[in-house]
């Protein structure tokens, strides 16, 4: 097998920990991996259902106005934006400045082969995302209009082409950002800031949608805008909806040519690009100062904080929950009670705010936890921290502390803003704040517990442990599942005793989690 084939095989086996699934002998571990595979399936199903609901909400009005073609444009716009957005922070770590680049470059393998193997895996993951958006859109589209057999052939052919240029654009932006930020001392903050700006822009459009008419307006605006700045959207619609073979040929040619040029250029400059993104700003002068002693915990805590903010991927994925919460709070504060009632279609919602708002706060807290990858992030350097004369609980507390400082301050501010704008009684504000802190404490422990049981140390890039690991998936879905039962019971009964009972359960879970970390968790960590 040639070098490219071998690299692709190795990368594929590392993807979603397939190598362990195929070769693990321990039945318990195999069941864990199969559970992860099932979790991936559920996640994909949820994405498909959400996409279907989104497109189905648009379709009736588009069909009535004779503009159903915009559904195809909206589909391509969504897929392209997602791929471009994720590629910006994935390119460094997956293609450029990979953990195994120095090892691979020392082997008799060309830079072109290394780069193509890395890019292929990035392409494969984004192809899956593209299909998860395209298939629901196709199901909705054929419900309203009959299409010839050639439509299906072209549709799935284009599925392989759609990710190409967004990947190229995202990779170029990511490389430029990394290069420019390398001249600054805190280069990762620039990447993190830009990422969150893009997220906020996307969420702005999402939160602005309250009615079907607004949904259509935004979809039309996005599609028309992309027709000007990204003409491939118009070509895509013309080729599929109007059976325009000239546009079909042009669409294929542009994607293939742009992709080929990108591969050729990056391959030729691969070593140079790796050197550029590794460049760091240096201080022109140094001044000796007195060193200050810190406690063992504070030393570990500072180390964890620095490690966390040194990774754009780590921050942007684990802090997404608190960002969503903040955007949601601002949105609710602007819209007020009437806007919230209109959006949720729940009459008399003002009487339920004391329960809905705490549930919203808790739901967003569970969407991200830094501890779900805090053990795996140590990688092959875990032995260093284990060799220190420090007990495991101190290490655990330092890792949990990062999650708490990331979420608690902003969360308390959000609770205060909600209480102020919705004129909640002081008791309800305090109750929401206490419930939020307890939930943050639980998810900090829970993420750590999951990662202790599902660690991944042989990762090549941080995306594998932050976005694609068993721990990250279980942590996110557990966070959502935790709120389902109390949320359902409260909406059904409107009784605040449900929330008080939820607080009691969370306190019990916190105590149980602490006991687990103190006993079984410590034992597992020492055996890693």
Instruction: Give the C-alpha separation, 289 to 190, whole Å.
Output: 28
* 166 Cβ contact list (under 8 Å, min separation 6): 79, 80, 81, 83, 84, 87, 126
Residue 372 near residue 451 (C-beta atoms within 8 A)? yes
More confident residue, 268 or 439: 439
Please, which pLDDT band fits residue 338 given cuts at 50, 70 and 90? low
Place of tokens 């959207």: 233
Calculate mean pLDDT across residues 61-69: 80
* Residue of 247, 225, 228 lying closest to 237 (CA atoms): 247
Q: Is the pLDDT of residue 402 over 90?
A: yes
Mean predicted lDDT score pLDDT of the chain: 79
In the structure encoding, which two tokens stand for residue 396, read together? 């655990």
pLDDT tens digits for range 221-232: 555 555 666 788
pLDDT at 184: 62
* Residue of 270, 243, 87, 219 lying closest to 163 (CA atoms): 87
In the structure encoding, which two tokens stand for residue 273, read together? 């690009």
Residue 469 near residue 456 (C-beta atoms within 8 A)? yes
pLDDT at 39: 67
pLDDT at 398: 93
Q: What is the DSSP string of 354-407?
A: HHHHHHHHHHHHTT--GGGGTTGGGGGGHHHHHHSS--HHHHHHHHHHHHHHHH
pLDDT at 195: 61
pLDDT at 313: 78
Which of these ranges, 7-11, 180-184, 418-422, 462-466, has the smallest mean pLDDT?
A: 180-184
In the structure encoding, which two tokens stand for residue 84, read together? 């471009």
SS3 (DSSP) at 425 = coil
pLDDT at 157: 92
Which of these ranges, 25-29, 341-345, 494-498, has the smallest mean pLDDT?
A: 341-345
Instruction: Count CB neighbours of 107 within 10 A.
Output: 11
* 63 Cβ contact list (under 8 Å, min separation 6): 144, 145
In the structure encoding, which two tokens stand for residue 307, read together? 């490690």
CB-based burial of residue 313 (10 Å sphere; 0-12 exposed, 13-18 middle, 19+ buried)?
Answer: buried
Which of these ranges, 33-42, 102-111, 262-271, 383-392, has the smallest mean pLDDT?
A: 33-42
Place of tokens 């958006």: 133
Q: Is the pLDDT of residue 263 over 60?
A: yes
User: How open is the CA angle 94-386-391, to the nearest 5 degrees?
Assistant: 130
Q: Which residues, listed in sequence order, are joined to residue 92 by a DSSP beta bridge?
A: 96
Q: What is the dihedral of CA 163, 135, 464, 19, to 10 degrees?
A: -110
Instruction: Give the C-alpha separation, 352 to 344, whole Å.
Output: 12
Helix then strand count (H, E) for the chain reads 24, 0
Q: Is the pLDDT of residue 492 over 90?
A: no
Q: What is the DSSP string of 52-95?
A: HHHHHHHHHHHHHTT-THHHHHHHHHHHHHHHHHHHHHHHHHHT
pTM across the whole model: 0.70
pLDDT at 284: 47
Residue 511 near residue 438 (C-beta atoms within 8 A)? no
Q: Is the pLDDT of residue 185 over 70?
A: no
Sign of CA dihedral 343, 344, 346, 350: negative
Calculate mean pLDDT across residues 265-292: 63
Q: Which residues, listed in sequence order, are joined to residue 349 by a DSSP beta bridge?
A: none
Place of tokens 């306190």: 507
* Helix extents (H) in 183-295: 187-208, 212-229, 232-241, 245-268, 270-277
Which of these ranges, 5-9, 14-18, 479-483, has the smallest mean pLDDT?
A: 14-18
pLDDT at 86: 77
More confident residue, 208 or 64: 64
Could you tell me the CA-to-CA distances from 512 to 40, 323, 347, 373 in Å, in that order? Answer: 28, 29, 39, 21
Could you tell me the CA-to-CA distances from 253 to 156, 360, 475, 492 in Å, in that order? Answer: 16, 47, 43, 56
pLDDT tens digits for range 415-472: 998 888 888 889 989 999 999 999 999 999 999 999 998 888 877 777 778 877 778 8
pLDDT at 209: 46
SS3 (DSSP) at 214 = helix
Instruction: Give the C-alpha separation, 486 to 468, whole Å.
Output: 29
Please, which pLDDT band fits residue 286 given cuts at 50, 70 and 90? very low
Q: Is the pLDDT of residue 382 over 70?
A: yes
Which of these ranges, 102-116, 274-288, 389-403, has the smallest mean pLDDT?
A: 274-288
- Give the containing element (helix H, strand E) for 231: none
Q: Is the pLDDT of residue 408 over 90?
A: yes
């Amino acid at each position: 097998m040639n070098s490219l084939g071998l690299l692709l095989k190795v990368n594929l086996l590392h993807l979603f920990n397939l190598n362990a699934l195929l070769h693990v002998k321990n039945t318990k571990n195999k069941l864990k991996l199969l559970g992860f595979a099932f979790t991936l399936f559920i996640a994909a199903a949820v994405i498909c259902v959400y996409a279907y609901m989104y497109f189905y909400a648009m379709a009736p009005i588009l069909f009535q106005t004779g503009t159903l073609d915009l559904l195809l444009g909206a589909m391509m716009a969504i897929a392209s934006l997602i791929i471009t957005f994720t590629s910006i922070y994935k390119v460094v770590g997956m293609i450029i400045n990979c953990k195994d680049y120095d090892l691979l470059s020392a082997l008799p393998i060309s830079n072109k082969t290394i780069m193509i193997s890395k890019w292929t895996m990035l392409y494969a993951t984004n192809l899956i995302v593209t299909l998860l958006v395209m298939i629901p859109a196709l199901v909705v589209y054929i419900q309203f209009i009959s299409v010839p057999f050639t439509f299906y052939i072209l549709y799935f052919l284009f599925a392989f082409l759609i990710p190409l240029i967004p990947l190229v654009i995202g990779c170029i932006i990511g490389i430029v950002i990394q290069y420019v930020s390398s001249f600054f001392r805190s280069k990762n903050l620039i990447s993190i800031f830009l990422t969150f700006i893009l997220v906020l822009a996307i969420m702005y459009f999402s939160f602005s949608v309250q009615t079907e008419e607004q949904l259509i307006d935004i979809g039309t605006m996005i599609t028309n805008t992309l027709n000007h700045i990204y003409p491939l959207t118009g070509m895509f619609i013309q080729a599929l909806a109007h059976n325009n073979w000239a546009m079909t040929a042009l669409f294929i040619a542009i994607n293939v040519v742009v992709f080929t040029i990108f591969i050729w250029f990056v391959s030729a400059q691969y070593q140079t690009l790796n050197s550029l993104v590794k460049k760091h700003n240096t201080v022109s002068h140094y001044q000796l100062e007195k060193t200050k002693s810190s406690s063992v915990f504070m030393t570990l805590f500072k180390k964890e904080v620095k490690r966390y903010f040194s990774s754009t991927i780590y921050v942007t994925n684990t802090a997404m929950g608190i960002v969503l919460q903040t955007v949601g709070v601002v949105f609710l504060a602007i819209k007020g009670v009437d806007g919230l009632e209109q959006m949720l279609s729940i009459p008399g919602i003002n009487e339920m705010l004391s329960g809905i708002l705490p549930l919203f706060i808790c739901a967003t807290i569970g969407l991200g936890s830094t501890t779900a990858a805090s053990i795996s992030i140590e990688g092959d350097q875990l032995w260093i921290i284990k060799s220190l004369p420090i007990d495991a609980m101190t290490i655990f507390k330092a890792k949990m502390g990062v999650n708490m400082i990331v979420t608690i301050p902003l969360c308390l501010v959000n609770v205060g803003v909600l209480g102020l704008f919705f004129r909640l009684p002081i008791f309800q504000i305090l109750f929401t704040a206490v419930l939020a802190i307890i939930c943050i404490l639980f998810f900090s422990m829970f993420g750590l517990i999951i990662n202790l049981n599902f660690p991944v140390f042989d990762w090549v890039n941080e995306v594998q442990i932050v976005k694609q690991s068993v721990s990250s998936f279980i942590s996110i879905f557990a966070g959502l599942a935790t709120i389902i039962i109390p949320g359902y019971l409260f909406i059904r009964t409107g009784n605040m005793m449900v929330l008080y009972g939820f607080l009691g359960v969370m306190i019990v879970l916190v105590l149980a989690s602490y006991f687990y970390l103190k006993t079984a968790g410590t034992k597992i960590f020492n055996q890693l």
